[in-house]
Amino acid sequence: MPSIKYAAGLAAMLLCSLVVQAQATFNLDDLLALTAKQTQVQTTFTEKKFIKGLDAPIESSGELSFDAPFRMVKRTLAPRPETLKLEGRMVTLERGRQTRTLSLDDYPELAVHVEGIRASLAGDRSELERAYRAELTGTDAQWKMMLTPLNEKAAAQVKSVLLTGEQADIRSVQVLLTDGDSSVMTIARPKAR
């Protein structure tokens, strides 16, 4: 008859095996299924841009909102007000009294900055893979997704976009440009859904 110690050890090994299997099976479809459940996200952000030749990063902060599946707004409040609205394939930038509207189809190098976040939030795998090669690592509790632009024009400017998160929440977005400049946006936990 097996000892209690042996049975406890066997149970612990089985539990560890199940945890490892659960972690190993977390994939892009699982992540996008989590994020697709969010129809609205409202949160805040802080961002640091690291630019060659500057002694210190440029810092900004503000609010982010997402209304599934196609509307995303980044409202910078500091150091000066600026609003970037993404609706469908159109981007509107408002700075003071100036407003500029562009189509993402005409500017793939701009699209690469925003489409990875929006497609991830919307849980839209086809849109995500239309623009990027996506590599996901980690578990649902803590994951990283490396996005590499597929468009030649975009890839000439953007080396990669790294999203990190927990469950359905994107917690940071790091953009690495081919010239060595980069930015890191840290995203607060979304407000109650």
Q: What is the pLDDT of residues 58-73, one digit of tens each?
A: 999 999 999 988 899 9
CATH number of 136's domain:
2.50.20.10
Does the residue 172 lie in any domain?
A: yes
Does the residue 40 lie in any domain?
A: yes
Please state, in angstroms and as integers, the Cα–Cα distance from residue 87 to each residue in 109, 131, 149, following that order. 17, 17, 21
Query: What mean pLDDT is reported for the chain?
Result: 86
Does the residue 12 lie in any domain?
A: no
pLDDT at 1 over 90: no
Domain that holds residue 108: 26-187
Please state, in angstroms and as integers, the Cα–Cα distance from residue 134 to each residue in 17, 40, 128, following that order. 27, 24, 8
Q: Residues for the chain: how many in total? A: 193
Does the residue 58 lie in any domain?
A: yes
Give the neighbor-by-neighbor strand order of the sheet with 40-50: 98-103, 90-95, 82-87, 71-78, 58-67, 40-50, 182-187, 169-177, 158-166, 142-149, 132-139
Q: For position 134, what pLDDT does the model report? A: 95
Does the residue 46 lie in any domain?
A: yes
Does the residue 35 lie in any domain?
A: yes
Does the residue 3 lie in any domain?
A: no
Does the residue 150 lie in any domain?
A: yes
Counting beta carbons within 10 angstroms of the beta carbon of residue 32, is it exposed (0 to 12), middle (13 to 18) or buried (19 or more)? buried
Total domains in the fold of the chain? 1
List the single range of 1-15, 18-32, 146-160, 161-175 with lowest mean pLDDT. Answer: 1-15
